[in-house]
């Protein structure tokens, strides 16, 4: 029998790069006493324009290391693309480990849109996936989703290239068509890639203050807390949780991004 996983074990979080820090920020806010290991697979990014087999193999490799070698108590796949193509395989291979994924916030968007027109910005891989098609079908009702793959945007954000990020945001927001609160206009934008949360200022400027912008950090953090409670693996205070950063690419770049985007105690 394997040892039961202790509540003191860390939570593993991974993404193709820095995008998952937007999820980690919400996780650390909701679960301040937990230790986290954050893995950025920068050496193999971006995922969004790669084959499903490639992303699935990377996700399995990272999950194996975190679950079998680093002893995490729960895994958060902080990447829409990896969730879309790999989460089923991860859950089948490690049924003993609770696994939380992220998916574009179509349901809350459909529930809150008054014009029933919602723009969805995501990677090509997410939008082409079977899981995304099923998610769309599962939302009954009159909402029309306007899908926009954003090639190159995650990479521009990863490179902290603000000029390229702004250019690409402009191109993709304009491609969606008219935004606003009048009939026929898109009144809600879904950020369906965890990187895009770091371009929120650009999206707000381009879409205008009346357009609602949805991302997924907080619902993922709530779901994580719920699963930990159910598994009796929730850690309570008083100690503040520690953060360990790991990267298959350049670690100082990840450390600088974490410094910039996370609040709270610095990472090890």
Catalytic residues: 79, 193
Q: How far is the CB of 117 from ligand DGL (least distance, A)?
A: 23
Q: How far is the CB of 210 from ligand DGL (least distance, A)?
A: 26
Of the residues 5, 154, 211, 220, which one makes contact with ligand DGL according to CB under 6 A: 154
Question: d(Cα 244, Cα 59) in Å, to the nearest integer?
Answer: 19
Of the residues 14, 36, 38, 47, which one makes contact with ligand DGL according to CB under 6 A: 47
Of the residues 42, 126, 224, 247, which one makes contact with ligand DGL according to CB under 6 A: 126
Of the residues 56, 113, 123, 248, which one makes contact with ligand DGL according to CB under 6 A: 123
Is residue 19 within the footprint of ligand DGL (CB under 6 A)? yes
3-state secondary structure 158-220: HCCCHHHHHHHHHHHHHHCCCECCCCCCECEEEECCHHHHHHHHHHHHHHCCCCEEECCHHHH
| 3-state secondary structure (DSSP) of residue 111 | helix
Query: Which residue bears the tokens 């203050």?
Result: 209
DSSP strands (E only) in the chain: 11-15, 36-40, 74-77, 99-101, 117-122, 144-149, 188-191, 212-214, 243-247
In Å, how far are 32, 128, 184, 246 from 65, measured between CA atoms?
24, 28, 48, 12
Is residue 219 within the footprint of ligand DGL (CB under 6 A)? no
Question: Which residues in 60-79 contact ligand DGL (CB under 6 A)?
Answer: 79
Piece in contact with ligand DGL (CB under 6 A), picked from 39-47, 88-96, 169-177, 257-265: 39-47
Burial class (CB in 10 A: 0-12, 13-18, 19+), 118: buried
Question: d(Cα 104, Cα 178) in Å, to the nearest integer?
Answer: 21
| Residue 16 phi, psi (nearest 5) | -70, -20
Is residue 245 within the footprint of ligand DGL (CB under 6 A)? no
Kindly determine how many residues on this chain lie close enough to bind ligand DGL according to the rule CB under 6 A. 17
Is residue 247 within the footprint of ligand DGL (CB under 6 A)? no
Is residue 10 within the footprint of ligand DGL (CB under 6 A)? no
Q: Residue 42 gets which letter from DSSP?
A: G
Question: Which residues in 79-108 contact ligand DGL (CB under 6 A)?
Answer: 79-81
Is residue 45 within the footprint of ligand DGL (CB under 6 A)? yes
Is residue 26 within the footprint of ligand DGL (CB under 6 A)? no
What tokens were used for 194? 């965890």
Of the residues 46, 101, 149, 219, which one makes contact with ligand DGL according to CB under 6 A: 46
Q: How far is the CB of 191 from ligand DGL (least distance, A)?
A: 9
Task: Give me the residues that bind ligand DGL (CB under 6 A), please.
Answer: 15-17, 19, 45-48, 79-81, 123, 126, 154, 193-195
């Amino acid at each position: 029998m394997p040892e039961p996983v202790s509540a003191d074990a860390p939570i593993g979080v991974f993404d193709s790069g820095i995008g998952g820090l937007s999820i980690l920020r919400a996780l650390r806010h909701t679960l301040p006493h937990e230790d986290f290991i954050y893995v950025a697979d920068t050496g193999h990014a971006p995922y969004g324009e790669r084959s499903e087999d490639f992303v699935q193999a990377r996700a399995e490799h990272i999950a194996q290391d975190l679950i079998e070698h680093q002893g995490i108590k729960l895994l958060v796949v902080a990447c829409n693309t990896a969730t879309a193509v790999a989460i089923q395989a991860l859950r089948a291979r490690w049924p003993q480990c609770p696994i939380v994924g992220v998916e574009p916030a179509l349901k809350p968007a459909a529930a809150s849109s008054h014009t029933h027109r919602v723009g969805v910005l995501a990677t090509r891989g997410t939008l082409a996936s079977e899981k995304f098609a099923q998610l769309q079908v599962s939302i009954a009702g009159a909402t029309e989703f306007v899908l926009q793959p954003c090639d190159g945007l995650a990479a521009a954000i990863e490179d902290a290239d603000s000029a390229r990020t702004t250019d690409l945001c402009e191109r993709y927001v304009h491609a969606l068509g008219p935004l606003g609160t009048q009939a026929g206009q898109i009144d809600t934008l879904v950020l369906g890639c965890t990187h895009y949360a770091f371009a929120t200022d650009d999206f707000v400027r381009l879409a205008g203050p009346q357009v609602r912008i949805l991302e997924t950090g907080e619902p993922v953090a709530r779901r994580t807390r719920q699963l930990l409670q159910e598994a009796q693996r929730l850690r309570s205070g008083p100690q503040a949780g520690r953060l360990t950063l790991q990267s298959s690419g350049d670690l100082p770049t990840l450390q600088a991004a974490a410094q910039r985007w996370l609040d709270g105690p610095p990472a090890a």
